[in-house]
């Protein structure tokens, strides 16, 4: 049976009509989807894509910020930034590497000719120097990073390059800052210095974090100068400021196709220090004068032929402000100009670059000679005796009325193996109390009444005598950080735990009682002295009075900070103050203010000889303490002769500039010099100076 043709035709038409309708429906759906997608692109994703497109067609060059200035307490500029014009070169990315290198070398020759004709002869560069700065082998920069070729352009150089810009493709003139330091070298190790970011970013944790900074205004430049030590490093974020940006449109060939837009950098904030310029400079001079004097003196008590270095810190008792901090000898910080130091300068000054008041510094010795001399961190000696008496009183080992028969010798240890502790020059003082023990610097009193008694007493609250001693030391800032915040500050060196382990707890405590078994920094000793003066408050050492922004607005003021406090009966404090008021000290003859003090001559065994270190602490006025001073002179001999006269000059300088009684005696005006304008744009005492004599075991001696 055959199909009906007419019926088949009708069926075929229906199928065609269905397929046609389905086609139109699919086409309609696709167009609808396309229209919706276009709408999303236009109204939703459009702004984002537009921004990305702009980013791909623009290039930005960071402009380094202008670093904030550092002033002393009177407003004198110690470290300041000046503007300079530098020339930068950018490799042409549209050229192949070989052609780009050849083009750069041709440019180097042209630059050399202009530098030679119009530049400052003192800043002359050879063609090789220029090519080296271009970094054509990409050792320091990627291809798009501008290379700084030369700083400090003359006006003639600037004018020439600006008038002939088209002839120097890839060359750009940029304004940037240069760090300058006062040539008087004011507290240079405290202030610190700068190094290039690309030399520190890999080995300094603080700067490692800066490499991942997302904010372009805070992103460091490879050739940027950054703080590497001292306050320059401690306040890096405050001083730095923010980058500027130079943005320009480019085409696919990386050629500039439109006007450049510049966002100026934000200048860093300024530091106003607690350091007083005149007090600081007089402190530095006092140390150097004293080193010269004692190294050549004919007085056997004063002579210290090995003395090469000296350290001093002056700290206000109630505020914690550091008025002077000297690590001598010092140097001119301008040797770090440009964030780098010459090999010759480094070899000459490497031993004094660090701050000896907070970490280890030696004199100018060879590597072999260093072992023959003490460093800046040395035993405190008898300056620790006021604290030793406080420990004895507070631990009820004796009373203020207690006396001890000082016959000049104390022994401890097994019969036949005794260790003997003696006084200076084998003197004996008869019956003495705690105050008199401080006055005469009795080693035997400290050993018998403090060290040995603390050892023999039963453990207190489960703590041994050595642990109790350690707690007292740390309460007074000895063996712990002062919390000054200065980079690379050390805690000092605690030795009494090792002595207890390797010898005995008795030996550790006896020797610690008169200033052995612990080596401390000058800043720690100054903080400790201030705590004696204010009767128990350990103040945080602070160096900044206030921080101001570039417009002169105060953004951070000063607040004294008490780190910890101890409270003892008033009679305990009076006992040590009475003793400290009667200590003999050289250099204070004729003073018109009262002062409490303690001398010290700590001794160290250094490669076969005994080095005697001069140590001195004092505070004034005695009745209302204002200033605490600590002085350390390694290899300086007796503390009264080697260190005490330095302290006298520091107190006098402070009295003249600020006033021990609140009114300056003689206010020296601060001159408005060019740098500032630019920146705004005795035998009686020898008894205190001999250490314990360990005749049986050969132990070290102390004042």
pLDDT at position 678, please? 40
Residue 156 has a CB neighbour count (10 Å cut-off) of 13
DSSP for 70-81, written as a single string: EE-TTS-EEEEE
Among residues 128, 125, 172, the alpha carbon closest in space to that of 148 is found at 172
Among residues 276, 318, 217, 310, the alpha carbon closest in space to that of 540 is found at 318
Q: Are 630 and 644 in contact (CB under 8 A)?
A: no
DSSP bridge pairs for 273: 544
Give me the residue label for tokens 């035998």. Answer: 683
319 secondary structure, DSSP code: T
399 secondary structure, DSSP code: -
Q: Is 700 helix (H, G, I), strand (E, B) or coil?
A: coil
- Half-sphere exposure for 122 (CA within 13 Å, toward CB): 4
Domain boundaries, the chain: 60-273, 277-333+372-688
DSSP for 484-496, written as a single string: ---TT----EE-H
Q: Are 209 and 237 in contact (CB under 8 A)?
A: no
pLDDT digits (tens, 9 = 90+) for 597-635: 999 998 888 888 889 999 999 999 999 999 999 999 999
The rounded distance, in Å, linking the Cα atoms of 569 and 565 is 13
Residue 267 has a CB neighbour count (10 Å cut-off) of 20
Residue 418 has a CB neighbour count (10 Å cut-off) of 15
Q: Are 177 and 83 in contact (CB under 8 A)?
A: yes
Q: Are 273 and 541 in contact (CB under 8 A)?
A: no
Q: What is the distance, to the nearest Å, from the Cα of residue 309 to the centroid of all Cα atoms in its chain?
A: 19
The rounded distance, in Å, linking the Cα atoms of 219 and 542 is 29
pLDDT at position 686, please? 37
* Intervals of the chain under pLDDT 50: 1, 669-702
Residue 74 has a CB neighbour count (10 Å cut-off) of 16
The rounded distance, in Å, linking the Cα atoms of 475 and 546 is 28
Residues 6+ apart with CB under 8 A from 701: 603, 610, 690, 691, 692, 693, 694
The rounded distance, in Å, linking the Cα atoms of 303 and 641 is 9
Give me the residue label for tokens 């001069």. Answer: 614
Among residues 128, 114, 121, the alpha carbon closest in space to that of 158 is found at 114
Can you say whether the dihedral through the CA atoms of 522, 527, 532, 533 is positive or negative? positive
pLDDT digits (tens, 9 = 90+) for 425-472: 889 999 999 999 999 999 999 999 999 999 998 888 889 999 999 999
472: tokens are: 């007292």
The runs of H, that is alpha helices, within 40-147 are 46-56, 97-118, 127-134
Residue 449 has a CB neighbour count (10 Å cut-off) of 27
| ∠ Cα 251 257 259 (to 5°) | 140
Element (DSSP H or E) covering residue 314: strand 310-316
614: tokens are: 């001069």
Nearest-Å Rg of the Cα atoms of the chain is 36
How are strands ordered across the β-sheet holding 518-520?
378-379, 518-520, 493-494
How many residues would you count in the chain?
703
**CATH classification number, 60-273, choose in 2.40.290.10, 3.90.1310.10, 3.40.50.1010, 3.30.70.260:** 3.90.1310.10
Residue 600 has a CB neighbour count (10 Å cut-off) of 32
pLDDT at position 252, please? 66
The rounded distance, in Å, linking the Cα atoms of 268 and 287 is 34
The rounded distance, in Å, linking the Cα atoms of 618 and 685 is 15
pLDDT at position 298, please? 93
**Environment class of 9 (CB within 10 Å of its CB; exposed 0-12, middle 13-18, buried 19+):** exposed
Write down the number of H helices and E strands in the chain: 25, 26
Residues 6+ apart with CB under 8 A from 617: 383, 525, 526, 528, 529, 532, 597, 598, 600, 628, 629, 630, 631
The rounded distance, in Å, linking the Cα atoms of 531 and 480 is 15
Assigned CATH for 277-333+372-688: 3.40.710.10
- Half-sphere exposure for 689 (CA within 13 Å, toward CB): 29
Q: Is 317 helix (H, G, I), strand (E, B) or coil?
A: coil
- Half-sphere exposure for 629 (CA within 13 Å, toward CB): 33
99: tokens are: 């052609």
């Amino acid at each position: 049976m055959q199909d009906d043709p007419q019926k088949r035709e009708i069926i075929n038409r229906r199928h065609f009509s269905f397929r046609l309708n389905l086609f139109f429906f699919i086409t309609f759906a696709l167009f609808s989807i396309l229209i919706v997608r276009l709408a999303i692109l236009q109204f939703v994703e459009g702004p984002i894509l537009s921004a990305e497109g702009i980013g791909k067609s623009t290039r930005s060059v960071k402009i380094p910020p202008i670093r904030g200035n550092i002033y002393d307490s009177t407003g004198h500029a110690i470290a300041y930034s000046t503007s300079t014009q530098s020339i930068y070169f950018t490799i042409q990315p549209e050229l192949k590497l070989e052609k780009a290198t050849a083009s750069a070398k041709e440019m180097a020759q042209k630059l050399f000719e202009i530098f030679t004709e119009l530049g400052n002869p003192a800043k002359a560069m050879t063609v090789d120097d220029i090519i080296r700065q271009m970094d054509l082998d990409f050792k320091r920069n990627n291809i798009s990073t501008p290379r700084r070729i030369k700083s400090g352009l003359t006006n003639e150089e600037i004018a020439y390059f600006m008038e002939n810009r088209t002839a120097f493709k890839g060359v750009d003139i940029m304004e940037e800052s240069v760090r300058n330091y006062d040539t008087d070298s004011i507290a240079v190790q405290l202030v610190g210095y700068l190094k290039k970011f690309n030399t520190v970013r890999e080995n300094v944790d603080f700067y490692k974090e800066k490499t991942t900074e997302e904010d372009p205004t805070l992103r460091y430049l490879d050739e940027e100068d950054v703080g590497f030590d001292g306050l320059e490093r401690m306040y890096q974020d405050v001083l730095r400021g923010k980058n500027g940006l130079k943005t320009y449109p480019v085409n696919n060939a990386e050629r500039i196709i439109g006007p450049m837009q510049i966002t100026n950098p934000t200048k860093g904030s300024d530091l106003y220090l607690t350091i007083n310029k005149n007090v600081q400079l007089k402190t530095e001079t006092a140390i150097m004068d004293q080193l010269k004097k004692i190294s050549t003196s004919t007085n056997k008590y004063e002579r210290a032929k090995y003395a090469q270095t000296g350290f001093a810190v002056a700290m206000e008792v109630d505020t914690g402000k550091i008025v002077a901090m000297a690590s001598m000898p010092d140097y001119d910080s301008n040797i770090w100009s440009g964030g780098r130091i010459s090999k010759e300068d480094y070899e000459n000054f490497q031993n004094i670059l660090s701050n000896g008041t907070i970490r280890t510094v030696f004199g100018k010795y060879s590597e072999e000679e260093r072992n023959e001399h003490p460093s800046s961190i040395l035993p405190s000696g008898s300056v620790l005796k006021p604290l030793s008496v406080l420990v004895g009183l507070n631990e009820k080992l004796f009373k203020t009325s207690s006396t001890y028969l000082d016959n000049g010798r104390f022994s401890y240890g097994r019969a036949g193996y005794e260790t003997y502790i003696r006084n200076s020059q084998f003197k004996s003082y008869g019956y003495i109390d705690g105050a008199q023990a401080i006055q005469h610097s009795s080693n035997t009193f400290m050993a018998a009444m403090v060290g040995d008694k603390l050892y023999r007493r039963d453990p207190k609250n489960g703590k041994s005598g050595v642990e109790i001693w350690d707690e007292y030391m740390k309460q007074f800032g000895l063996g712990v950080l002062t919390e000054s915040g200065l980079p690379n500050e050390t805690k000092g060196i605690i030795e009494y735990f090792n002595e207890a382990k390797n010898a005995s707890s008795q030996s550790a405590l006896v020797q610690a009682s008169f200033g052995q078994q612990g080596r401390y920094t000058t800043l720690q000793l100054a903080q400790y002295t201030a705590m004696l003066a204010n009767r128990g408050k350990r103040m945080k050492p602070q160096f900044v009075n206030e921080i101001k922004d570039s417009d002169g607005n105060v953004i951070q003021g000063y607040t004294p900070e008490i780190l910890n406090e101890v409270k003892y009966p008033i009679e305990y404090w009076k006992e040590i103050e009475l003793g400290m008021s009667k200590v003999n000290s050289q250099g204070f003859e004729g003073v018109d203010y009262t002062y409490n003090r303690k001398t010290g001559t700590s001794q160290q065994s250094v490669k076969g000889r005994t080095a005697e270190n001069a140590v001195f602490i004092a505070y004034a006025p005695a009745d209302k303490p204002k200033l605490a001073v600590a002085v350390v002179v390694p290899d300086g001999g007796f503390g009264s002769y080697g260190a005490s006269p330095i302290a006298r000059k520091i107190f006098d300088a402070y009295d003249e500039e600020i006033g021990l009684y609140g009114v300056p005696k003689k206010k020296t005006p601060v001159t408005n010099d060019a740098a500032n304008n630019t920146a705004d744009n005795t035998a009686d005492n020898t008894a205190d100076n001999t250490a314990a004599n360990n005749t049986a075991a050969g132990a070290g001696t102390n004042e």
